Amino acid sequence: MNLDDYKDIFEPFEKLVEIEICGTRREVPENNSLLRCFQFLSIETISYGDFCWNGDCLNCQVWIKNGEKEKSALSCRTKVEEGMKIIRLNHEIKL
């Protein structure tokens, strides 16, 4: 599957930013929600996954390291930030 076929689903971006997902560094498009970034990384599994895309289902929940603490967030409602460290993913997110 060609990612260019799906470029209209992403928010406009000029560059990729680096984030860490469960210890692995990945590059994802700036200006997008984390869930869209996950879709960028795994177009088929996220596109056909069990996600509502509006925050009702909680299937896109992630845990982000913030200093020494961790906080939970819904990836459909959280914008990606350079250097973000995601330490845990809901079992529905298959990358």
| Pairing mode of beta strands 16-21, 85-89 | parallel
Assign 95 to helix, strand or coil: coil
DSSP letter at 12 equals P
User: Residue 18 corresponds to which tokens in the numbers above?
Assistant: 């680096």
Cβ(28)–Cβ(21) below 8 Å: no
| Pairing mode of beta strands 24-29, 69-74 | unpaired
pLDDT in tens, the chain (95 residues): 566 666 788 998 999 999 999 999 999 999 999 999 999 999 999 999 999 999 999 999 999 998 899 999 999 999 999 999 999 999 999 99
The pLDDT of residue 1 is 52
**Every domain of the chain and the residues it spans:** 15-89
CA 95 to CA 92: how far, in whole Å? 10
CATH number, domain 15-89, options 2.60.40.1250, 3.10.20.30, 3.10.129.10, 3.80.10.10: 3.10.20.30
